[in-house]
Amino acid sequence: MKIYDTEGFPNPARIRIALAEKGATDSVEFIPVDVMAGEHRTEAFKAKNPDAVVPCLELEDGSHISQCNAITEYIDGHFDGPSLTGETPKDRAQISMMNLRAEQGLLNAVGTYFHHATPGLGPDLETYQCAEWGEKQKEVAGQTMAYLDDVLSKNTYLAGEAFSVADITAFAGLAFADFAKVEIPVHLSHLAEWRENVASRPSIAG
Protein backbone atom coordinates (compact mmCIF):
# COMPACT_ATOMS: atom_id res chain seq x y z
CA MET A 1 0.00 0.00 0.00
CA LYS A 2 1.36 3.41 -1.00
CA ILE A 3 0.29 6.95 -0.12
CA TYR A 4 1.27 9.72 -2.52
CA ASP A 5 1.37 12.90 -0.45
CA THR A 6 3.17 16.05 0.54
CA GLU A 7 4.16 15.97 4.18
CA GLY A 8 2.92 18.94 6.19
CA PHE A 9 -0.02 19.74 3.91
CA PRO A 10 -3.47 19.66 5.59
CA ASN A 11 -5.13 16.79 3.76
CA PRO A 12 -2.09 14.49 3.83
CA ALA A 13 -1.89 15.24 7.57
CA ARG A 14 -5.42 13.89 7.99
CA ILE A 15 -4.43 10.56 6.45
CA ARG A 16 -1.23 10.30 8.46
CA ILE A 17 -3.16 10.89 11.69
CA ALA A 18 -5.75 8.27 10.72
CA LEU A 19 -3.01 5.74 9.99
CA ALA A 20 -1.32 6.48 13.31
CA GLU A 21 -4.62 6.09 15.17
CA LYS A 22 -4.96 2.63 13.64
CA GLY A 23 -1.33 1.76 14.39
CA ALA A 24 -0.75 1.28 10.68
CA THR A 25 1.81 3.91 9.73
CA ASP A 26 4.53 1.30 9.19
CA SER A 27 2.23 -0.64 6.84
CA VAL A 28 2.29 2.14 4.25
CA GLU A 29 4.98 3.44 1.92
CA PHE A 30 4.84 7.22 1.56
CA ILE A 31 5.72 8.57 -1.88
CA PRO A 32 6.48 12.31 -1.83
CA VAL A 33 4.83 14.50 -4.44
CA ASP A 34 6.48 17.86 -5.20
CA VAL A 35 3.40 20.07 -5.26
CA MET A 36 5.43 23.28 -5.34
CA ALA A 37 6.99 22.10 -8.61
CA GLY A 38 3.57 21.17 -9.99
CA GLU A 39 4.14 17.40 -9.94
CA HIS A 40 0.50 16.84 -8.92
CA ARG A 41 -0.62 18.35 -12.23
CA THR A 42 1.50 16.14 -14.47
CA GLU A 43 -0.18 13.58 -16.70
CA ALA A 44 1.66 10.80 -14.87
CA PHE A 45 0.14 11.80 -11.53
CA LYS A 46 -3.29 12.56 -12.96
CA ALA A 47 -3.35 9.01 -14.33
CA LYS A 48 -3.37 7.95 -10.68
CA ASN A 49 -5.61 10.74 -9.40
CA PRO A 50 -7.51 12.85 -11.95
CA ASP A 51 -8.37 15.28 -9.14
CA ALA A 52 -4.69 16.36 -9.32
CA VAL A 53 -4.40 16.70 -5.55
CA VAL A 54 -2.71 14.88 -2.70
CA PRO A 55 -3.13 12.50 -1.00
CA CYS A 56 -3.77 9.48 -3.20
CA LEU A 57 -3.81 5.85 -2.04
CA GLU A 58 -2.43 3.12 -4.26
CA LEU A 59 -3.46 -0.46 -3.42
CA GLU A 60 -1.55 -3.65 -4.05
CA ASP A 61 -3.66 -4.41 -7.15
CA GLY A 62 -2.61 -1.10 -8.73
CA SER A 63 -5.94 0.66 -8.17
CA HIS A 64 -6.14 4.13 -6.66
CA ILE A 65 -8.38 5.86 -4.15
CA SER A 66 -8.40 9.63 -3.80
CA GLN A 67 -10.40 12.05 -1.62
CA CYS A 68 -9.52 12.07 2.09
CA ASN A 69 -12.86 10.76 3.29
CA ALA A 70 -12.72 7.78 0.93
CA ILE A 71 -9.10 7.02 1.86
CA THR A 72 -9.88 7.23 5.56
CA GLU A 73 -12.88 4.93 5.14
CA TYR A 74 -10.64 2.35 3.48
CA ILE A 75 -7.96 2.67 6.17
CA ASP A 76 -10.56 2.40 8.92
CA GLY A 77 -12.01 -0.78 7.48
CA HIS A 78 -8.72 -2.36 6.43
CA PHE A 79 -6.80 -2.05 9.68
CA ASP A 80 -7.68 -3.20 13.20
CA GLY A 81 -8.32 -0.83 16.07
CA PRO A 82 -11.09 1.48 17.27
CA SER A 83 -13.26 2.74 14.44
CA LEU A 84 -12.76 6.31 13.24
CA THR A 85 -15.93 6.30 11.13
CA GLY A 86 -18.42 4.65 13.48
CA GLU A 87 -19.63 1.17 14.40
CA THR A 88 -23.40 1.60 14.13
CA PRO A 89 -25.50 3.23 11.38
CA LYS A 90 -26.32 6.13 13.71
CA ASP A 91 -22.68 6.60 14.72
CA ARG A 92 -21.54 6.51 11.10
CA ALA A 93 -24.16 9.06 10.09
CA GLN A 94 -23.34 11.45 12.94
CA ILE A 95 -19.60 11.18 12.36
CA SER A 96 -20.05 11.71 8.61
CA MET A 97 -22.23 14.76 9.27
CA MET A 98 -19.74 16.37 11.64
CA ASN A 99 -16.80 15.46 9.44
CA LEU A 100 -18.41 17.18 6.45
CA ARG A 101 -19.21 20.26 8.52
CA ALA A 102 -15.60 20.45 9.69
CA GLU A 103 -14.30 19.81 6.18
CA GLN A 104 -16.54 22.19 4.26
CA GLY A 105 -16.97 24.90 6.87
CA LEU A 106 -13.46 24.99 8.29
CA LEU A 107 -10.70 23.20 6.39
CA ASN A 108 -11.99 23.87 2.88
CA ALA A 109 -13.12 27.38 3.80
CA VAL A 110 -9.65 28.23 5.10
CA GLY A 111 -8.18 26.63 1.98
CA THR A 112 -10.36 28.78 -0.27
CA TYR A 113 -9.29 31.91 1.60
CA PHE A 114 -5.63 30.88 1.36
CA HIS A 115 -5.74 30.07 -2.36
CA HIS A 116 -7.92 33.02 -3.41
CA ALA A 117 -7.34 35.94 -1.04
CA THR A 118 -3.61 35.53 -0.30
CA PRO A 119 -0.60 34.78 -2.53
CA GLY A 120 -1.27 31.14 -1.66
CA LEU A 121 1.25 28.79 -3.28
CA GLY A 122 2.49 31.47 -5.67
CA PRO A 123 1.54 32.67 -9.16
CA ASP A 124 2.73 29.54 -10.94
CA LEU A 125 0.19 27.40 -9.06
CA GLU A 126 -2.53 29.93 -8.23
CA THR A 127 -3.66 30.40 -11.83
CA TYR A 128 -7.13 31.70 -10.91
CA GLN A 129 -8.07 33.75 -7.86
CA CYS A 130 -11.25 35.46 -6.69
CA ALA A 131 -10.36 37.49 -3.62
CA GLU A 132 -13.98 38.31 -2.77
CA TRP A 133 -14.87 34.62 -2.62
CA GLY A 134 -11.80 33.95 -0.51
CA GLU A 135 -12.72 36.62 2.02
CA LYS A 136 -16.28 35.28 2.20
CA GLN A 137 -14.96 31.82 3.00
CA LYS A 138 -12.78 33.29 5.73
CA GLU A 139 -16.01 34.48 7.35
CA VAL A 140 -17.46 30.98 6.98
CA ALA A 141 -14.42 29.53 8.74
CA GLY A 142 -14.94 31.87 11.67
CA GLN A 143 -18.60 30.95 11.90
CA THR A 144 -17.74 27.26 11.82
CA MET A 145 -15.21 27.67 14.62
CA ALA A 146 -17.95 29.21 16.77
CA TYR A 147 -20.32 26.37 15.88
CA LEU A 148 -17.73 23.73 16.77
CA ASP A 149 -17.06 25.48 20.06
CA ASP A 150 -20.76 25.20 20.89
CA VAL A 151 -20.79 21.50 19.99
CA LEU A 152 -17.77 20.93 22.20
CA SER A 153 -19.47 22.65 25.12
CA LYS A 154 -21.69 19.55 25.27
CA ASN A 155 -19.44 16.75 23.95
CA THR A 156 -15.90 15.56 24.52
CA TYR A 157 -15.40 15.14 20.78
CA LEU A 158 -17.19 16.50 17.73
CA ALA A 159 -19.44 13.49 17.18
CA GLY A 160 -19.93 12.50 20.79
CA GLU A 161 -17.70 10.84 23.36
CA ALA A 162 -15.41 8.96 20.96
CA PHE A 163 -12.56 10.39 18.89
CA SER A 164 -13.37 10.16 15.18
CA VAL A 165 -12.42 11.28 11.70
CA ALA A 166 -14.42 14.47 12.35
CA ASP A 167 -11.91 15.44 15.02
CA ILE A 168 -9.01 14.71 12.68
CA THR A 169 -10.50 16.95 10.01
CA ALA A 170 -11.21 19.82 12.39
CA PHE A 171 -7.75 19.57 13.94
CA ALA A 172 -6.15 19.78 10.49
CA GLY A 173 -8.45 22.70 9.67
CA LEU A 174 -7.27 24.67 12.70
CA ALA A 175 -3.65 23.95 11.85
CA PHE A 176 -4.29 25.27 8.35
CA ALA A 177 -5.96 28.33 9.88
CA ASP A 178 -2.79 29.02 11.87
CA PHE A 179 -0.69 28.74 8.71
CA ALA A 180 -3.05 30.94 6.68
CA LYS A 181 -3.23 33.51 9.51
CA VAL A 182 -6.98 33.06 9.95
CA GLU A 183 -7.63 34.14 13.51
CA ILE A 184 -9.06 31.60 15.93
CA PRO A 185 -11.06 33.69 18.44
CA VAL A 186 -9.56 33.41 21.91
CA HIS A 187 -12.97 33.29 23.58
CA LEU A 188 -13.75 29.90 22.06
CA SER A 189 -12.58 28.10 25.18
CA HIS A 190 -14.20 24.75 24.45
CA LEU A 191 -12.54 24.60 21.04
CA ALA A 192 -9.19 25.52 22.59
CA GLU A 193 -9.49 22.86 25.29
CA TRP A 194 -10.49 20.23 22.72
CA ARG A 195 -7.57 21.20 20.50
CA GLU A 196 -5.11 20.83 23.37
CA ASN A 197 -6.59 17.45 24.22
CA VAL A 198 -6.39 16.19 20.62
CA ALA A 199 -2.86 17.53 20.20
CA SER A 200 -1.73 15.32 23.08
CA ARG A 201 -2.84 12.09 21.37
CA PRO A 202 0.09 9.83 20.42
CA SER A 203 -1.03 9.92 16.77
CA ILE A 204 -0.31 13.64 16.71
CA ALA A 205 2.14 14.32 19.50
CA GLY A 206 4.36 11.51 18.25
Asked whether residue 119 falls in the same domain as residue 182, the answer is yes
Q: What is the model's pLDDT at position 163?
A: 98
pLDDT tens profile 93-126: 999 999 999 999 999 999 999 999 999 999 999 9
User: Domain containing 57 — which CATH number?
Assistant: 3.40.30.10
Q: Are residues 181 and 117 in the same domain?
A: yes
Same domain, 12 and 112: no
| pLDDT, the chain, mean | 97
Percentage of the chain with pLDDT > 90?
A: 100
> Where does the pLDDT of residue 15 fall: very low under 50, low under 70, confident under 90, or very high at 90 and above?
very high
Confidence of residue 206 (pLDDT cuts 50, 70, 90): confident
5 pLDDT band, cuts 50/70/90, is very high
Domain count, the chain: 2
Question: Is 140 among the domain residues?
Answer: yes
The verdict on 111 and 191 lying in the same domain is yes
Residue 44 has a pLDDT of: 95
Domain extent at residue 70: 2-78
Report the 3 state secondary structure along the chain: CEEEECCCCHHHHHHHHHHHHCCCHHHCEEEECCHHHCHHHCHHHHCCCCCCCCCEEECCCCCEEECHHHHHHHHHHHCCCCCCCCCCHHHHHHHHHHHHHHHHHHHHHHHHHHHHHCCCCCCCCCCCCCHHHHHHHHHHHHHHHHHHHHHHCCCCECCECCCCHHHHHHHHHHHHHHHHCCCCCCCCHHHHHHHHHHHCCHHHHC
Higher-pLDDT residue of 93 and 206 is: 93
Residues 74, 137, single domain; the answer is no
Per-residue pLDDT of 44-77, as tens digits, reads 999 999 999 999 999 999 999 999 999 999 999 9
- Domain limit, last residue, from 55, 78, 101: 78
- Checking if the pLDDT of 205 tops 90, the result is yes
Q: In the chain, pLDDT over 70 holds for what percent of residues? A: 100
Tell me if 30 is assigned to some domain.
yes
| Residue 83, domain member (yes or no) | no
Q: What is the CATH classification number for the domain harbouring 176? A: 1.20.1050.10
Examine the domain organization and report whether 96 and 168 are in the same domain.
Answer: yes
pLDDT at 104: 98
